[in-house]
């Protein structure tokens, strides 16, 4: 019976609730109800629970809906105020252990959505002086879920949660870019051998390399910021199929306005509520941008690990701060641990993006039922990237230093330095010199001096490795 799901019986440890499928025993102290219990029985899949930011997004939506329904006289003030108070309490940290549905659940997230409705309803019932399960006072569907459907709440919650969480991510990514650019300035006078194909190449400054790393992170961050704007369009008010059935015409604009006020972010109504329900393109866009950052981070970490390799038998061009023992058997060994960690985080983000991409393309007609997978993976990516970037910046990048002497030795020893002779001697002649230098184990500088191919003062000018890191033609 609509609005009449009640407690059928109570004992010392359980209460009984019934739905259209029949009665179920509920732990007496549980704030969730029959729908959640069925989900616990049906989906004991991973032990993973909804992300705290996602729970908070759902509660913000429930609070906003109650306030608007009260204003539109679709919900009486007594019930609306109790729902709002319950939401505020849970947003403040209470009852978080009551959101128990596995992230791998029934399509569209109905199981988790009802978990939220039931917890809010039962706490609101208590606020009105009732007992859990007395749904005639406040019903999970009729009151907490008034003017709503899982089909508009869940995609809205993904966007709100992700957009909120990105507010913590943005400064973490920006701090990494800033730290890399600072190292670019610090290392600007350090000349080293560039490498292409992992083979010796012309000189480059270590600072130039690090400045390029910083710029790459800045560009990736700009892409994420741009993608995040798509999250700010919300489809609240679309209800079951995007048509707005059972909602007041004024409801969408009003509820989104409150969500924007509660979060401090510029959320707005989607231009087409059907599109906002059918397409989860903004989720894919943000995930893809995060993946692109992960690609840049992987490249950066691989470079740092190469440049720090050794210290006796590798490149050893830079020193990474040791953070803990690197071996259980080799005393004194330290590893590029923070870079290795960030590599693994980046690979996970790439994998999450594959899952999100598959889920987003799996939408059918008016609804994409794969939204729980999107929510979990997107928030997981944002969380691990935010945390990883913070510790990587503080415990690795800021403390790294350059091995200046070794860098310069490599720059001067590289046979590729012969490239500067092309305008003077021609490519074919220089190629012969390189071949001879390699065969005899000598430097290009030694060969040029032996053959007296250039005057001493010209040799000093041409082979100034610092000058070779800037544009110019030596003739």
Catalytic center residues: 327
Closest CA to 36 of 97, 93, 117, 104: 117
Strand bridging mode 268-269 / 233-234: parallel
When computed from its CA atoms, the radius of gyration of the chain, rounded to whole angstroms, is 31
The number of residues in the chain equals 475
| Phi, psi values for residue 410, rounded to 5° | -65, -40
Q: How far apart are CA 323 and CA 320, in angstroms?
A: 9
Token readout for 88 is 């505020």
Q: How far apart are CA 370 and CA 374, in angstroms?
A: 7
To the nearest 10°, report the CA torsion of 345, 351, 354, 358: -120
Largest CA distance in the chain: 104
Helices vs. strands in the chain: H and E counts, helices first: 16, 9
**Residues forming a β-bridge with 22:** 19
Q: How far apart are CA 403 and CA 307, in angstroms?
A: 10
What does 396-444 look like in DSSP terms, one character per residue?
Answer: IITT-EE-HHHHHHHHHH-GGGGGGGHHHH-HHHHHHHHHHHHHHT--H
Token readout for 199 is 């083979």
- Which of helix, strand or coil describes residue 364? strand
Task: Answer yes or no: are the C-beta atoms of 374 and 362 closer than 8 Å.
Answer: no
Q: How far apart are CA 160 and CA 267, in angstroms?
A: 8
**Please, is 182 exposed, middle or buried when counting C-beta atoms within 10 Å of its C-beta (0-12, 13-18, 19+)?**
middle
In the chain the first and final C-alpha atoms are separated, in Å, by: 93
Q: How far apart are CA 221 and CA 199, in angstroms?
A: 31
């Amino acid at each position: 019976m609509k609005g009449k799901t009640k407690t059928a019986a109570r004992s010392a440890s359980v209460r009984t609730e019934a739905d259209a499928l029949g009665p179920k025993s509920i732990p007496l102290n549980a704030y969730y109800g029959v729908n959640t219990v069925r989900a616990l029985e049906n989906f004991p899949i991973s032990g993973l629970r909804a992300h705290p930011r996602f729970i908070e997004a759902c509660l913000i939506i429930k609070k906003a809906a109650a306030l608007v329904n009260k204003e539109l006289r679709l919900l009486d003030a007594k019930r609306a105020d109790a729902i709002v108070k319950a939401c505020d309490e849970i947003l403040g940290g209470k009852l978080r252990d009551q959101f128990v549905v596995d992230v791998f659940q029934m399509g569209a997230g109905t199981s988790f959505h009802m978990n939220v409705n039931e917890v809010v309803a039962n706490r609101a019932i208590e606020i009105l002086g009732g007992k859990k399960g007395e749904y005639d006072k406040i019903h999970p569907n009729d009151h907490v879920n008034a003017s709503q459907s899982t089909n508009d709440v869940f995609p809205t919650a993904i966007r709100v949660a992700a957009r909120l969480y990105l507010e913590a991510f943005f400064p973490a990514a920006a701090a990494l870019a800033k730290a890399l650019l600072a190292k670019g300035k610090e290392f600007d006078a350090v000349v080293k051998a560039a490498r292409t194909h992992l083979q010796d190449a012309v000189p480059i400054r270590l600072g130039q390399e690090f400045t390029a790393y910083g710029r790459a992170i800045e560009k990736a961050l700009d892409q994420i910021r741009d993608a995040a704007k798509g999250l700010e369009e919300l489809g609240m008010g679309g209800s079951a199929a995007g048509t707005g059935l059972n909602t007041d015409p004024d409801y969408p604009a009003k509820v989104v306005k409150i969500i924007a006020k509660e979060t401090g972010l510029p959320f707005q109504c989607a231009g087409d509520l059907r599109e906002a329900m059918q397409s989860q393109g903004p989720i894919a866009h943000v995930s893809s941008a995060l993946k692109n950052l992960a690609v840049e981070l992987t490249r950066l970490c691989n470079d740092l690990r190469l440049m720090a390799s050794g210290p006796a038998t590798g490149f050893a061009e830079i020193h990474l701060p040791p953070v803990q023992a690197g071996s259980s058997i080799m005393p004194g060994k330290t590893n590029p641990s923070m870079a290795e960690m960030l590599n693994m985080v980046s690979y996970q983000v790439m994998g999450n993006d594959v899952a999100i991409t598959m889920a987003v393309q799996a939408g059918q007609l008016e609804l994409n039922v794969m939204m729980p997978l999107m929510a979990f993976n997107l928030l997981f990516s944002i969380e691990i990237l935010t945390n990883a970037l913070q510790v990587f910046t503080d415990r690795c990048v800021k403390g790294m230093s350059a091995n200046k002497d070794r860098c310069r030795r490599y720059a001067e020893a590289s046979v590729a330095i012969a490239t500067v002779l092309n305008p003077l001697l021609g490519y074919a002649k220089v190629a012969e010199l390189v071949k001879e230098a390699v065969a005899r184990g000598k430097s290009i500088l030694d060969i040029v001096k032996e053959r007296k191919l250039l005057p001493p003062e010209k040799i000093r000018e041409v082979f100034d490795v610092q000058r070779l890191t800037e544009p110019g033609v030596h003739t």
